[in-house]
Amino acid sequence: MAFEYQEGQGSLFKNERKTNERAPDYKGKVKIGGHLYELAGWLKKGQNGTFLSLKVSEPRERGYSREDNFE
């Protein structure tokens, strides 16, 4: 049985293929509104310490698209 994301949940994994400084430190997926989105995270330093900056975007990888309904 294949892994299935639950609504409002996702996963981030260390980006082992980071090719430049602007690439995300972490990559993953998140399910919102029944659609799977890409999730990216960058480790940053601020006044209160290190934090993770996140970005949610339309899928770019082959194999799924935003129109796929995972319900």
How confident is the model over 16-71, as pLDDT tens digits? 999 999 999 999 999 999 999 999 999 999 999 999 999 999 987 555 444 444 44
Can you tell me which residue has the tokens 């609504």? 7
Report helix, strand or coil for 38.
strand
pTM above 0.95, yes or no: no
36: closest CA among 60, 66, 13, 4?
Answer: 66
Q: Torsion over CA of 70, 59, 25 and 31, rounded to 10 degrees?
A: -20
30 in Cβ contact with 19 (< 8 Å)? no
Spatial distance between the Cα atoms of 68 and 36, rounded to a whole number of angstroms: 8
